[in-house]
């Protein structure tokens, strides 16, 4: 049995860098437990992506009441960068797994 485990990596530079050598934040969105050909599971996948983007690109700092421009820019750039990964995951979900015998 073929067991595919794939991740959608979300990487973004921190909205506010405190040190020049600070590494970008990364989150992995697992979807191996979802059937992305089902609308409900696609919606859950999108919620997971949104939560990961929220973590790597916070638009508000603690105590702020308005969204930061840097956070909004980070979010837009990150969403654009991961769109092809999301599309690829959905396309792979639509591709049926082919099982055949070896002829023995």
Largest Cα separation within the chain, whole Å, is 68
Give the pLDDT of residue 10.
Answer: 66
Tell me whether residue 89 is in a domain: yes
Tokens of 9: 């990596």
Tell me whether residue 100 is in a domain: no
Tell me whether residue 11 is in a domain: yes
Domain that holds residue 60: 7-94
Tell me whether residue 99 is in a domain: no
Tell me whether residue 32 is in a domain: yes
Q: Are 93 and 35 in contact (CB under 8 A)?
A: yes
- Residue 23 pLDDT > 50: yes
Contacts 24+ apart (CB under 8 A), 61-65: 61/16
Tell me whether residue 101 is in a domain: no
* Cα-Cα end-to-end distance for the chain: 18
Per-residue burial over 72-102, b = 16 or more CB atoms within 10 Å of its CB, e = otherwise? eebbeebbeebeebbeebeeebeeeeeeeee
* pTM for the full predicted model: 0.68
For the stretch 35-73, pLDDT in tens is 999 999 999 999 999 999 988 988 776 666 667 888 889
Give the pLDDT of residue 43.
Answer: 96
Tell me whether residue 84 is in a domain: yes
Q: What is the rounded distance in angstroms from the CA atom of residue 38 to the CA atom of residue 17?
A: 39
Q: Lowest mean pLDDT: which of 6-15, 26-35, 50-59, 77-86? A: 6-15
Domain count, the chain: 1
Tell me whether residue 1 is in a domain: no
Where is pLDDT greater, at 39 or 14?
A: 39
């Amino acid at each position: 049995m073929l067991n595919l485990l794939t991740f959608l990596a979300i990487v973004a530079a921190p909205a506010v860098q405190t040190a020049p050598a600070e590494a970008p934040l990364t989150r992995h969105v697992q979807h191996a437990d979802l059937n992305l050909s089902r609308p409900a599971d696609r919606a859950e996948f999108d919620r997971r992506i949104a939560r990961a983007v929220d973590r790597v690109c916070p638009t508000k700092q603690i105590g702020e009441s308005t969204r930061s421009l840097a956070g909004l820019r980070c979010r837009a750039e990150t969403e654009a960068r991961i769109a092809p990964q999301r599309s690829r995951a959905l396309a792979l979900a639509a591709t049926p797994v082919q099982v055949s015998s070896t002829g023995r």
